[in-house]
């Protein structure tokens, strides 16, 4: 999306990226970025939380009109609901799953390599 935003901007269409991968999006150099400290895949908040989603969308629209310089990042003050602490379980792999996941990864890499072979 970062590259798409840069292309749109180069063609006169203003953009705002709303996302959770601060380091990656800033590295790509998007024109305007609203950072939400939420789990990846949920930049506008949890599903069915229209109240939070409206606030975040409003912040993005405000950023579109108020950014004073290129590559502006605004950190949203909206917090993930406290009744769902996602951080302890995010990206966690249970010890008993390590070997199974390693095997799944190896199989996937083999399939990808096979699909790239000519003929």
Q: 29-73 pLDDT, tens per residue?
A: 889 999 998 888 889 988 899 999 999 999 999 999 998 888 899
pLDDT of residue 84: 67
What is the DSSP track for 80-114?
PPTT---GGGTT---GGGHHHHHHHHHHHHHHHHH
pTM: 0.71
Q: 63-104 pLDDT, tens per residue?
A: 999 988 888 999 999 988 876 677 777 777 888 888 999 999
Q: Residue length, the chain?
A: 119
pLDDT of residue 70: 82
């Amino acid at each position: 999306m970062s590259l798409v935003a840069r292309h749109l901007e180069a063609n006169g269409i203003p953009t705002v990226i709303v996302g959770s991968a601060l380091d990656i999006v800033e590295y790509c150099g998007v024109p305007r970025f609203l950072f939400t400290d939420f789990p990846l895949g949920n930049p506008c908040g949890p599903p069915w939380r229209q109240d939070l989603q409206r606030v975040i969308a409003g912040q993005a629209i405000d950023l579109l009109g108020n950014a004073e310089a290129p590559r502006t990042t605004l950190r949203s003050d909206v917090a993930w609901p406290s009744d769902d602490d996602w951080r302890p379980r995010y990206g966690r792999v249970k010890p008993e799953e390590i070997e199974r996941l390693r095997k799944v990864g190896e199989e996937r890499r083999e399939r990808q390599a096979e699909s790239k072979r000519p003929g």
